[in-house]
Amino acid sequence: MNLRDLRYILAVAEHQHFGRAAEACGVSQPTLSVQIRKIEDLLGVALFERSSRAVAPTDACQALIGHARTAVAEADAMLAVAWTLRDPLAGRFRLGIIPTLAPYLLPLVFAPLRDALPALEIEPWEDQTAALLDRLRGHELDAALLATEVDGPELASRPLFAEPFLAALPPEHPLAGREQVAEAELASDMLVLADGHCLRDQALAACGREGTLGTLRAASLATLLNMVAAGYGTTLIPGLAAGAAQDGGIVLRPLAARTGRTVRLVWRARFPRGTAVDAVGDVIASRLRGYAEGAASDVV
């Protein structure tokens, strides 16, 4: 059994589907299925329960998969050290990013990153904060762009740029005629994201509310913007999303208290390719220096 076999096991366990796992591994489904059977024969246990609709890890798989993750992580760490010795600014760089930031930030920074770091292969991974931190700690990501501070000595972080919040209002809303809006005035009809999104907690805190508001639990900022445009309520959006909101016919107003969030780059403190982390952070910070504030100031 080799590292390729371990990656096959991890892929099937994650996707719980042979076709998607094969695609993720870059092989055909028959090749993956045959190899999994060989691994099961070697181990003498069934790793997956197969049905016509899904593939589920067995108890044996659950007992063994931690060893597979550890072995793959150690092998990847060896490769990372080797890349550092050769060229820390070359090779794959797996970058996590939260959903309320990814659609607006990535188009701005991808070209500058490619121009400044041509040998670095940036692989973005979009997910919520908790999932990104789990992947970061599990060596599945090299760094992550988050909008919250992180705790624990195993992680390090640096602030990259400040992003103000804006009040997003239907055109006919009573507050739409104001030059600026007090955060508390939005609380009565404010729409929020579902649990797990840091922007949800930040919006509730900015408006002096705890718990939940209304009945909508949107999974994406795009859904919130569409609901606001349709007149179903108000919300807070980060400054980089201003263009998308205005394109949807939404009225944006600055907040009286100028609340916002700080976007941070987070990585493992012992990650051997610190030079790559610094270089990626420098490019993003340089590209976004003043951009978020400028985008927000253009709304009035």
Answer CATH for 163-259 from 3.60.150.10, 3.40.190.10, 3.40.50.300, 3.30.470.20: 3.40.190.10
Fold of the CATH domain 3-82: Arc Repressor Mutant, subunit A (1.10.10)
Average pLDDT, the chain: 87
Q: How far apart are CA 43 and CA 35, in angstroms?
A: 12
CATH architecture of 88-161+261-297: 3-Layer(aba) Sandwich (3.40)
CB 38 within 8 A of CB 96: no
Q: How many CA atoms lie within 13 A of 80 on its CB side?
A: 21
Q: Of 109-113, 143-147, 174-178, 275-279, where does mean pLDDT reach its minimum? A: 174-178
| pLDDT at residue 212 tops 90 | no
| pLDDT at residue 196 tops 80 | no
Domain ranges of the chain: 3-82, 88-161+261-297, 163-259
Tell me which residue of 162, 159, 173 sits closest to 258, measured CA to CA: 162
Whether 3-82 and 88-161+261-297 share one fold: the answer is no
Q: How far apart are CA 145 and CA 198, in angstroms?
A: 12
pTM greater than the 0.85 cutoff: no
